Every structure is written in structure tokens, then in C-alpha cells.
Structure 1
């Protein structure tokens, strides 16, 4: 992974970059930084790259080949293009691009890659600038055009300025790959973006999706479909849109029998085959993402025996539990795994404060006020729901493998810390997204990904900082397996047809709603986000299944949603975590309770607007 930056100037003006942006980029790639300037006929490009070394030989970026082409690569090749263990995928990709003479050849190379990527490529022959994001948008790429200086900027991360006017940062839509004819742009004085869309998802770009897409194109730029009609073939198979025949609703009167229900379903051969196939593809996706990794040694290094190369954003819920159980298969037994669990300090309710004051006056009169869902007699201020389920999940993992060292990292955040870091760092990383939901999730993920908290050894708590360069996250499971409450609502209103439409929309918008933001937030710590549930083979397998095999929303909460994944958890030997209902991170970590209680998730976040 790395932080990439490209400033294209169509005038002879001096190339300048924002110092805040540069600092954010440097934190993404702490292992090596380098700049390169290319000057063409009446244009110039400043390339700046900051590398987080992950595989093979440390390869400086930007990469300048013998023909004068320049590559900035923020990605990982997990399949498609052969990359030997001792090779660096940036060097391999650069070599393949160097042999490409036509757009179709460049698209052919890109379409074979399995894994997340964002890239910028200067093709000297013809004076072209290529850039884009992978099919799911798993790597961040932002753009902005300044009409005053006739300059286009591409960057992994930007900076938020509440008082900014005119030019604004936007996320590059993950609808395909873009090409700029630099000679034509300098002659015209503005940028025309030639779009090479993905065959699925971006194919209808200039029809029903045109308004939404054009709203993401920088002011002063024009987007057109490439005249050759070339497309990138989709890396995943189309979504199965089969509708079942009329069915009778299955009634499960006792919610506490959920585990038995799963065991009964798992006993049927058909479901067992599908579960085993899902285990195979997710396990392989995890394997590709956890093996042969370097350590990131933090400033305050723990003892060598504590150092892990892999961490997991861990709530104890089914998504993170399955990732942990499968990671356990592929990480050497002597190497620890860090489980990053974040909690925001519970605010003492006003009534409870008043009761506490009365207790001071009448010490023999006990308080009966409780924080909802928390046993105040045995709980501390950071015992939020995700902390409680996380500890329960830790016990299950220890039962699965008693030899493995599981570092359960308790990351506790006070309101003062939250406000300080949001103002100084997180608001820039979440930008240009700006809703209350982006604030809550962005802040929660940032603190969790920092990996700095406390672990308990032999009954003693001590400070701990994760050494992992890779963080696994469960994003993509809910979107594909109907994990959100809105899926149940849509199913109730519109049946399977409505549910299928909702799932198709979820995966189609995941790049703009989640992945760019989370890549920027996690990458700020010099760690790389990896998404096993969005592996191309995993998505293709899930897309191939009829929707009723993935979820049965006639069943109760904790069973029906993500049914196939719950069956997978049972097959892997997991217990109560298999039937935990979905709980969004902003609620499980209790960050949503720390700010304005009357906000809606979709509202513009006033804390960003005020800076």
C-alpha cells in the first residue's frame, strides 16, 4: 500500500501542494517517500508517492521505466497476474504496463488483477494520463480541478477546510478507468476524461446513472465515454436474481432455540455443501491476505513474543469471528493475532448523576439507576456492547486454539480524545464524506486501527501497541448477505424481488459509502486495510447463489440475516457468536452516544462543518 499523489498543471504555473495533504500521505507510506516531475509540451506533472512496504524488495515509487512511463500503484495483486513471493507487485505491474501500446492492452492487464487497487499511470507515448480504482473501490482516490490555475489533482487522501470556496475534493467514482489526453487538454485549456467503464455496474454509466456520476466529476472537467466503446470485463459474476416459488413462512416460536435451528439446517446435505464451499473460498481469501507479511515495529515496541503481523477489527460479532477463526488456519501457530476492540466511554446519565449525589448524602441508600443494557454493579465506563461480545468471542477463539496467543487489545476512548483527534486528523481523512454516519464510523475505525490500548496478561493489564501492518475487516458481509435491518424492512414490503434489488444496490454503492473512507482512515496509521469478504472469488460465489440460500428473513433476528454465514460459523466450531444479531459499529462501540442524540445518520455532520 502507499499514498499516491499527482498534480497535473496545464499552464506553466509553479507546482505546489498542500502541506497537510503531504503529511497525511506520508503517514500512509512511512517506509519510503519520493517525488518525480515530468514536463511535456505545455503541461507538467508532479508525482509524489509514499510507500508502505508489504512484499518482495522495497520498490521506490513513483516507478520510472526505461521508456519514460511513470507508475504510482496503491494496491495488492492477490491473483490474476503471477507474482512470486520474492517479487514486488508494483514492479511486476509496471513491467506489464510497459509492454502495452494500446488502450485495450492496458485494460486487459488491469482486468486480470484480483485484489484492491488505485493507480495513476503516465504513458509517455501519446502523452496520456491513466488513473482509476478497482471494481469495488477498495482503495481511495480523490480528485479536484482548480480552474484558476488549470490544475487537476489526484490523491489518496486530501484535507478538509471548512471555509474552502470554489474547487472541492470528490471521490473518483469506481465505475471504470479514466484517461486524459494531455496534449488535447493543454490546447483546450480544460480536462476531458475519457471513461473506460466496467462491463457490469458502470456499463449504464451514461444512461440511468449519468446524473449521479456527473455529480462526482470535478467542476471544470468533462467526462465522455471512450469512442472505441471499450469496457473492462467485470471481475465477478452477475448477481443471481432468481425468485423462489411461493413458500410457507417457517415459524420459530422460541428465539432462544436459534443455535439448535442452525444445527438442524446444517444437517441437510444441500446446505452443508454450500457452507463448505463458502468456507473454502473465504479461507483462501484470508490466506492470500495474511501470509508472508512484514512486521510494523511501533515506537514503543512490545516484547518480541507479542508481535503480530495481522490484526482484526474485532467486535466478537459473526463477521470478525469467522475472519479470526480462518486466519488461525493460515498464520503460524507461534505468531500472535491482534484483536482490536474499541470502546467509547459511557456517559453517565443525568438521572444517575442525581442519584449518585443523593447517595453521597444518604450513603446507606443504594442507587437503582442503570445504564441501559449494562450491569452498572459489575461494569466499567468502557464496558460497551462490543467490548462485552468481544470478550465472549475471545473465549470462543481460545477454545478453538489454546496454543495461539490472541492479543485482545482494549482501545478506550474518552470524549476529550475523540474531539481532539477528530479536529486534528480524522476530519481530513473522512473528507469529502461529511455525514453523521461517516463521522461516527470514521472515528471508531481510526481509533481501532491505531491498535494502541491495553491487554491483559496473567490478570494484569498493561499498555500495548499492535505491530501489525495488515488489518482485516469484515466489510462486505452485511451488504451481500442481508445483514442490515433495512434488508428485513425491504423484504417485508417487497419480498425476495425487493431484497435482491436492495442487495444489488448495496454492493454497487459500497465504494462511495464505505471503502474509500475506511482505506483513508486505516491507512493513516501506516497499516493496510484488507477485505476478505470482498475478494473477487468470494463475491462471485455469493452472487451465484439464490438469495434465499444466503438469508432467510422469515427466521428471527440472529438467525435469518446472514444465514449462510451463521451456518459457516457453526461448521467452524463457533458458539453463541453465530447467533448474535447485527449491531452497527457506531452503536456497539457507543460512539453514537457521545454526541448529539437527536442527529440522524444521514445529516451533514456539524462537527465537520465547524472544523
Structure 2
């Protein structure tokens, strides 16, 4: 994995890589950096390529990679799986670039019409003035005819789009993935009519014959309810199928480690794999499946983040004034019972840890308690995180971006008996559960859509979720995690996992007429129960910003979709 940067200009002024952008790229790829330029004279244009490599597999391959013909390749990640790339084809004067089907690796673009300068980068920097950076839509591969651009001064993006088998090129032009083309540029389908075959099948749109919605009051979810559904045998085949395909997706990600020769293997007492861990169903499944494929003598780091809660207030009576007053907890007894970091995700994380220990007591599960104060949050957001979240800018992007950044950094403490030891996770691979809620109706909005529009509305909502996940989540999370010189891996967005889930009717994946904590992500909960997990299989969705309590630190009157002024640089 690496950070890549490509600048194209028709101006004779020397191309310069801005210092803050360079520093952010360097953090993504700390093992090797190189910058080269290419200039053409007839017609005139110049290109700058800068690559920063995080050495993850085999022998280190310096980038940008060049051949004897003057072609230049910068490739971020694997051929199959997450990727982003740029390729300068000197013969023909073309610049090719793009992201994978889901957009699991970040790639941003902007175009300065005055300078006739086009730029691509894995990560940018937020400036005080309005920025033109946008995420490259994960719509396919793009090509720029540099000769035509130099001669006309007009930038045209030729698109080779992803399409499903049997789908026509004309049917993809309206999709939401086409949003976000830079100002003063135009995008057109390539003249040759070529396309890329989608790595997954389209979502199964079939719904139950009876589309009547049974409105059931949300009762308390129970293990017995899950056990009864599992014992009925109705979903046995699909649950087993999910376990098999998800287990293989995890195996590929935990056994493809950054320690092939010539890099020495990590010491036995250090983890190579970390998991963003809340103790919820998504992260518990990843931990349970990783346990299958990582030798028991090797630890696994469970990264659990919490933001400091305000001190609680207690009431006492003033008999003279006969009024209730409040005071801060200050007695030793109160302090002993109260912890400002006992947020919901910390509590469920500890409970999840106990389930994992019961599942495999021979493994050392490093439950890393990552505690963040408001002062540290504000300092790191303004100093650094705001640049990584950019160009996204909502309250939700701020909350999740900050929470993921501190979690992925992996600096906290682990408990050793009654004591705590300062600990920093050395793992260079970070598993994240993103993609489970989007595919398996895990959000509250899915229940609303189901209540209003039944199964038909729900399956349309799920199709939209997957279509927009690149712009809402993945680019941001890649920029955030990679900033620590670590690689984010997304088992729930493995092509085989998505293809399997897309092939199933929506009623096999979720049943939102059942109680909360059971009906949403039903197939995943049944899989967890089959693997031997307990209460964690019943935990309802709790968004990271609420589970970690970062949302409590800020303006509680904000909406998630509001523009976040805290992300503005001063």
C-alpha cells in the first residue's frame, strides 16, 4: 500500500508538491519515497509523480515504477481487492487512473482551470480558502488524452465504467457514482465502447410473495429467540454459506501479512493483526473468524476507543432552602466507582473480550483501552485529522474520522490483573467491520424504510447503500487509518462476500419484523451464534460516534449531516 500523487499541468511553471500534502503522503508510505517528472515538448505538458510505499508484502518494490519506454505506474494495494492507481502511457500520451469497484482506497482529484493543472492524490490538506478537492467516483477507470488536452486546453475525462453482465453502457450514465466530476471538466463514455466487468453480481431484488409488513413491537431480544431461529433449520444453508465465505475473506486478510522476506517476522509476543473493536456483532465476528486462521500463540490486538465523559452530577438536599442542588462527585468512594471512560463501547468491548477468551483461552487477546480527552481530541483534529477527513466535512465525518484515527493509532493501556500497562499496538494490518450494516440492514433508517415501504423499499435502500459507500465512508476511512502507516482491510467488502450476499433475497439476510437486536443483520447474528458467540450476537447497532461517546463532547444540537465548523483550519 502507498500514497500516490500525480500532477498534470500545461503551465511552464515548475510543478511543486505542497509540503503538507507531501507529509500526509509520507505518513501513508514510510518505507520508501520517490518523485519524478515527465515533460513533453510537442505539444507541451508536464507531469509530476510522487509515490510513498508502505512495505507490506515480499520484496520492496520502489515506486513510481518506470519502464524503458518511459511509462510510469503508481499502484496502491492489490490487483484483486482494494486498489487505486495512476499510469502514464508515454506512447500515445495518455494518463490512466481509477479506484476499485467499492472505492476501498482513497483517490482525490481537482482541476485548476486558470493554471490548467489537474491533480490526483491519495490524501490532500485542508486549506483556509475554499478547496476544490473531490473524491474520484468509483465508477470505473478514467483516461485523459494529454495531447488533446494540451492542444485544446479543455480537459475531458474518458470513462471505462464498471457494468454488470448483460448491462449496457447507456444504462450506467445516470448512476450516483458519476457525481463529483471536477468543475470545468467533462466526463464521457469512451469512444471504443469498452467497459469493466463488475466483480460482484447485482443485488437480488426479489421479495417474498406476500409483501405484507408485520408490524411487531420491538421486544427485548433474547438468545432463545436466535436459538429457535437457528434450530428451525430454515436458514441453515445460507448461514453456513456466509460463515464459509466470510471466513475465507478474513483468512486472506490475516494470512497475507506484511512480514514476508526480507522483513523479519514480528516477535511472538507482538500482534500482526488488529481489529477496530466495540464488542458488537460485526467486530466480534471478525475476531472469532480471525481466531480460526491465526496461530493461537500469536496475540490479536482489539482496539477499543473511548472519549472522556463529563463528570456526573449528584443531587443533595439543602434543608434550609428546601431546594435540590448539585455538586460534582468528589469523594474517594465515588471516584472509585466512577470512570469517565466507561462508555457503551468500552462496556460491550469488555464483555466481548470475555466471550473471545472463552472461545480460545490459549490466545492472548490484547484489549487495548484507548482513552481520549477533549483537549487531545481538539489538538489532533485541528493539527492533523481535519486534513485527512477532507474533502468530507459533516459532523458525522468529523466524529467517525476522529474516533477511527485514535483507535487505529493503537496507543492505550491493557489490563494485567489489577494493574494497567501502557501499550502501543504494533500491528500494521487493521480489520474493520464496515460494510456489514450497509448490506444487512443494520441501520435504524432501514427499519423506517421497511415500515413505510416493505421489502421492496428495503431492498432498494440496500442497493443504494452499497452504491454510495465509496463516497460516504471508504475513502475517508482509508485516509484515516493509512495515516498511521497501517493498512485497512475490509472483510465484509470482499468481492466474494458481497457477491454472496447480493445473490440472496433480502428476506434471507434480515427480517425487520423481528425484534431489534435480532431482525437486523439476522443472517450474521445466526452465524455468530453458530460459531459459539453469546450475548454479543444480540447487540443492536450502535453508531461509533455514540458508542465511543465522541458525540457527547461536542454540540449536542448538531445534526449528523450539518457542516462541521470544527474541521475548518484556522
Q: TM-score range by the shorter chain?
A: over 0.9
Match of 1:10 in 2: 10
Q: Does 1:516 align with 2:518?
A: no
Match of 1:235 in 2: 199
Going from structure 1 to structure 2, the CA distance change for 1:206 and 1:11 (only over 3 Å counts) comes to: farther
Q: Does 1:128 align with 2:94?
A: yes
Distance 2:33 2:101 in 1: 27
Match of 2:55 in 1: 53
Match of 2:178 in 1: 213
Going from structure 1 to structure 2, the CA distance change for 1:249 and 1:218 (only over 3 Å counts) comes to: closer
Distance 2:113 2:221 in 1: 63
Q: Does 1:177 align with 2:141?
A: yes
**1:222-255: per-residue Cα shift (whole Å, max 9, x none)?**
2111111211111001110001022677798894
Decide which moves more: 524-533 or 29-38.
29-38
**Contact between 1:295 and 1:468, CA under 8 Å: does it hold in 2?**
no
Distance 1:71 1:458 in 2: 51
Q: Secondary structure at the match of 1:306?
A: coil
Aligned residue pairs, count: 554
Q: Secondary structure at the match of 1:198?
A: strand
After TM superposition, give the deviation of residue 378 of structure 1 in Å.
Answer: 3.1
**Contact between 1:13 and 1:149, CA under 8 Å: does it hold in 2?**
no
Q: Does 1:440 align with 2:402?
A: no
Q: Does 1:453 align with 2:412?
A: yes
Q: Secondary structure at the match of 2:222?
A: helix
Distance 2:494 2:134 in 1: 26
Q: Secondary structure at the match of 1:269?
A: coil
Going from structure 1 to structure 2, the CA distance change for 1:329 and 1:118 (only over 3 Å counts) comes to: same
Match of 1:139 in 2: 105
Match of 1:91 in 2: none
After TM superposition, give the deviation of residue 146 of structure 1 in Å.
Answer: 1.5
After TM superposition, give the deviation of residue 334 of structure 1 in Å.
Answer: 1.2
**1:158-205: per-residue Cα shift (whole Å, max 9, x none)?**
0001223xx611110111110011111111123211011111499567
Decide which moves more: 286-295 or 41-50.
286-295
Distance 1:430 1:368 in 2: 39
Match of 1:384 in 2: 343
**Contact between 2:27 and 2:485, CA under 8 Å: does it hold in 1?**
yes
Going from structure 1 to structure 2, the CA distance change for 1:343 and 1:481 (only over 3 Å counts) comes to: same
Q: Unpaired segments of 5 or more residues in structure 2? A: 261-265
Distance 2:429 2:55 in 1: 11
Match of 1:316 in 2: 279
Going from structure 1 to structure 2, the CA distance change for 1:332 and 1:148 (only over 3 Å counts) comes to: same
**Contact between 1:295 and 1:469, CA under 8 Å: does it hold in 2?**
no
TM-score normalised per structure 1: 0.86
Q: Which structure 2 residues correspond to residues 470-481 of structure 1 after superposition, within 5 A?
A: 470-481=429-440
Of 89, 105, 117, which aligns to 1:151?
Answer: 117
**1:45-81: per-residue Cα shift (whole Å, max 9, x none)?**
111000011111111011112332111011124xxxx
Distance 2:162 2:208 in 1: 30
Of 362, 368, 379, which aligns to 1:420?
Answer: 379
**Contact between 1:30 and 1:51, CA under 8 Å: does it hold in 2?**
yes
Going from structure 1 to structure 2, the CA distance change for 1:202 and 1:338 (only over 3 Å counts) comes to: farther
Q: Which structure 2 residues correspond to residues 69-80 of structure 1 after superposition, within 5 A?
A: 69-77=71-79
**Contact between 2:211 and 2:455, CA under 8 Å: does it hold in 1?**
no
Match of 1:278 in 2: 242
Distance 2:16 2:212 in 1: 66
Distance 1:423 1:26 in 2: 19
Q: Secondary structure at the match of 1:341?
A: strand
Going from structure 1 to structure 2, the CA distance change for 1:489 and 1:151 (only over 3 Å counts) comes to: same
Q: Unpaired segments of 5 or more residues in structure 1? A: 78-113, 297-302
Distance 2:23 2:512 in 1: 47
**Superposition RMSD in Å:** 2.5
Distance 1:257 1:27 in 2: 44
Going from structure 1 to structure 2, the CA distance change for 1:147 and 1:378 (only over 3 Å counts) comes to: same
Q: Which structure 2 residues correspond to residues 100-139 of structure 1 after superposition, within 5 A?
A: 114-139=80-105
Distance 1:202 1:340 in 2: 44
Q: Does 1:32 align with 2:35?
A: no
Distance 2:298 2:290 in 1: 11
Of 490, 497, 519, which aligns to 1:538?
Answer: 497
Distance 2:211 2:14 in 1: 68
Q: Which structure 2 residues correspond to residues 227-266 of structure 1 after superposition, within 5 A?
A: 227-246=191-210, 255-256=219-220, 258-266=222-230
Match of 2:532 in 1: 573
**Contact between 2:34 and 2:51, CA under 8 Å: does it hold in 1?**
yes
Match of 1:334 in 2: 297
Q: Does 1:347 align with 2:347?
A: no
**Contact between 2:163 and 2:172, CA under 8 Å: does it hold in 1?**
no
Going from structure 1 to structure 2, the CA distance change for 1:400 and 1:367 (only over 3 Å counts) comes to: farther
After TM superposition, give the deviation of residue 578 of structure 1 in Å.
Answer: 0.2
**Contact between 2:449 and 2:457, CA under 8 Å: does it hold in 1?**
yes
After TM superposition, give the deviation of residue 456 of structure 1 in Å.
Answer: 1.0
Distance 1:202 1:474 in 2: 33
Q: Secondary structure at the match of 2:467?
A: helix
Going from structure 1 to structure 2, the CA distance change for 1:132 and 1:534 (only over 3 Å counts) comes to: same
Match of 1:81 in 2: none
Q: Secondary structure at the match of 1:397?
A: helix
Going from structure 1 to structure 2, the CA distance change for 1:382 and 1:326 (only over 3 Å counts) comes to: same
Q: Secondary structure at the match of 2:337?
A: coil
Going from structure 1 to structure 2, the CA distance change for 1:523 and 1:276 (only over 3 Å counts) comes to: same
Going from structure 1 to structure 2, the CA distance change for 1:564 and 1:279 (only over 3 Å counts) comes to: same
